[in-house]
Amino acid sequence: MTFQIAVIPGDGVGQELYAESKKIIAKLIEKYNLNINLIEVEAGDIALSKYGEALPKQTLNVIDKADMILKGPVGESAMDVVVKLRQMYDMYANIRPAKSLPNVQSRYSNVDLLIVRENTEDLYKGFEFLASNGVAIAIKVITEYASRRIVNVALNYALMRRRKVTCVHKANVMRVTDGLFASVCREVLKGRVNFEEMYVDAAAANLVRDPTRFDVIVTTNVYGDILSDEASQIAGSLGLAPSANIGDKKSMFEPVHGAAFDIAGKGIVNPTAFLLSISMMFNRMYELSNDQKYMLASRSLENSIIEVYKKGDKLTPDVGGNAKLKDMIDDIYNHIV
């Protein structure tokens, strides 16, 4: 089997990120004999201005047949691309690791946690309307079905990690919706892992107080959005955080950061988040195929990135270096074995 990958380079720094990353992908494909076919498609602000749609029909046609999507950052139209794709293809598990990297100045060290964010429901359903002039309503939806499958994802990760899951909710206030999510967490996780519950406000504070107390955090869509940005900044920088949107049929890999228009075209964007997302993509291929070579490619890429941070002389300005995107890419490329 060959994995079909639809690639959305995206807006702002997205174009240069993908252009420069190609050689790394090519080296890994060759070295590990990976069966991957990449097809570039357009989506985002540029597509919107060109075709009047952020997610044009011809792009959806390709995505429809693809196994996975590799997505760069998208600008103002991000919602219409990313949230739409997540829901359209039921990519229900948003996996967001927050992990310290060597030589990245940070107030925190040894952060290594994983946020498992439900990715299809909550207020992200987009059910909103004006009930009357000046009175806006949105509907938050929490189902047992979606809660159960995301909690099972968290369980699986925890069993491969430090076996601790923190279920984050606000069931003291949202007794029915968050109460449902919390009760599913208890049912699935209690007795199987080191299980704790935490209100979302306390979780936001505890991430600041001591992020190393967390292993896996499982939570609903809105809280996951907020806490994952907070956690990735605590681990070093939002600019370094990768993510995976996993569904049973399709999945999408994307950096957490945005299009960064202010530095676009300057060749100084940090490729870490994008490349770590590619590493997560290879790992998903391993899960689906059970073929070790994908896992080895995933690890090789991740390790090469970590080595470049350890060495520390080819880092981009955002992490205190003075290398260009191209220099950092070359250094990572050379570390791949």
Ligand X SMILES: CC(C)[C@H](C(=O)O)[C@@H](O)C(=O)O
Residue ranges in contact with its own copies by CB under 8 A: 76, 78-79, 83, 107-108, 123-124, 126, 128-130, 133-145, 170, 172-177, 179-180, 200-202, 204-209, 222-223, 225-230, 232-234, 237-238
Listed in sequence order, the residues at least 6 apart from 230 whose beta carbon sits closer than 8 Å to its beta carbon are 204, 207, 208
Structure tokens at 224: 């996951």
**Is residue 225 among the annotated active site residues?**
yes
Q: Which residue in the set 19, 26, 39, 79 belongs to the binding site for ligand X (CB under 6 A)?
A: 79
159 forms part of the interface with ligand X (CB under 6 A): no
**Is residue 145 among the annotated active site residues?**
no
- Name the helix (H) or strand (E) containing 5: strand 3-8
Query: Which is catalytic among the residues 64, 65, 190, 201?
Result: 201
Question: What's at 108, amino acid-wise?
Answer: Y
The whole-angstrom distance between residue 189's C-alpha and the CA centroid of its chain comes to: 23
CB nearer to its own copies: pick between 24 and 264? 264
Residues 200-219 within binding reach of ligand X (CB under 6 A): 201
**Is residue 67 among the annotated active site residues?**
no
**Is residue 229 among the annotated active site residues?**
yes
Query: Which is catalytic among the residues 225, 318, 327, 331?
Result: 225
118 forms part of the interface with ligand X (CB under 6 A): no
Strands (E), 173-257: 194-199, 216-219, 242-246, 251-255
Provide, rounded to whole angstroms, the least separation between the CB of residue 33 and ligand X.
Answer: 33
Stretch of residues binding ligand X (CB under 6 A), selected from 77-85, 145-153, 282-290, 300-308: 77-85
Residues 162-181 within binding reach of ligand X (CB under 6 A): 172-173
Q: What Rg do the C-alpha atoms of the chain give, in angstroms?
A: 20
The values of phi and psi at residue 14, to 5°, are -60, -40
**Is residue 157 among the annotated active site residues?**
no
- Residues 271/329, Cβ–Cβ less than 8 Å: yes
Listed in sequence order, the residues at least 6 apart from 139 whose beta carbon sits closer than 8 Å to its beta carbon are 123, 125, 127, 128
* Residue 317 DSSP class: G
> Can you give the binding site for ligand X, defined by CB under 6 A?
78-79, 82-83, 172-173, 201, 225
Catalytic residue list: 124, 170, 201, 225, 229
